[in-house]
């Protein structure tokens, strides 16, 4: 089934296009793949980035994969400021290829999904969030028990990357691992 990629806010896309056109922004990014890109680079596959806070999520930004030819060479993040959407930074690394791989996996699933990214800062973890309501506002939404989470590589120890999990099954594991351990000598 096809993925229903939500459209990014126009100001977020414009901020990335402006940054890509700025030699200073690209040079300061220090992303070797982006600096070496031969030919035009384009922002594609906008994905809303949500942050998991306890069991609630909040929209933190939009991520665009930056393609040159047939492959993604970097990514660009945007963030919401009091003045609207603004370019945040370029980066590269393992999450780019891992995101592409997870999206390819999702494209062949039986059900249609709206793809999002879910950041779990307490575990230094990123997952592809496959939301079952394809018509939902990508900026909002709660994790539904039947939504799928696909941990991206590198995943924390004990969590298999690229293995889809129902949110209802994975969330308790994640929230338990994020919960800080009591200090030695403190009452339980």
pLDDT score for 168? 94
Other C-beta atoms within 10 Å of 110: how many? 5
Q: What are phi and psi of 94, to 5 degrees?
A: -65, -25
Structure tokens that stand for 141 in this block: 């939404």
pLDDT score for 173? 86
Q: What are phi and psi of 62, to 5 degrees?
A: -125, 140
Confidence band for 184, pLDDT divided at 50, 70 and 90: low
pLDDT score for 145? 94
Contacts of 2 (CB under 8 A, 6+ apart): 107, 112
End-to-end distance of the chain based on CA atoms, in angstroms?
48
In this predicted structure, the answer to whether residue 2 has a pLDDT above a threshold of 90 is no
Which tens digits make up the pLDDT trace of 156-181? Answer: 998 999 999 999 999 988 877 765 55
Which tens digits make up the pLDDT trace of 108-120? Answer: 999 999 999 999 9
* Mean pLDDT calculated for residue range 46-63: 93
């Amino acid at each position: 089934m096809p993925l229903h990629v939500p459209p990014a806010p126009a100001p977020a896309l414009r901020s990335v296009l402006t940054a890509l056109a700025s030699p200073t922004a690209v040079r300061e990014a220090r992303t070797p793949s982006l600096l070496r890109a031969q030919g035009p680079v384009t922002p594609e596959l906008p994905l809303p980035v949500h942050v998991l806070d306890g069991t609630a999520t909040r929209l933190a930004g939009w991520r665009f994969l930056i393609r040159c030819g047939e492959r993604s060479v970097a990514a660009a993040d945007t963030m919401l400021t009091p003045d609207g959407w603004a370019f945040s930074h370029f980066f590269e690394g393992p999450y780019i290829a891992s995101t592409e791989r997870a999206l390819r996996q999702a494209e062949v699933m039986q059900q249609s999904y709206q793809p999002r990214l879910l950041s779990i800062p307490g575990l230094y973890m990123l997952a592809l969030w496959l939301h079952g309501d394809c018509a939902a506002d990508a900026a909002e939404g709660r994790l539904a028990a039947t939504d799928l989470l696909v941990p991206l590589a590198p995943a924390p120890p004990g969590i298999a990357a690229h293995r889809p999990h129902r949110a209802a099954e994975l969330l308790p594991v994640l929230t338990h691992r994020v919960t800080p351990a009591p200090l030695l000598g403190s009452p339980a």
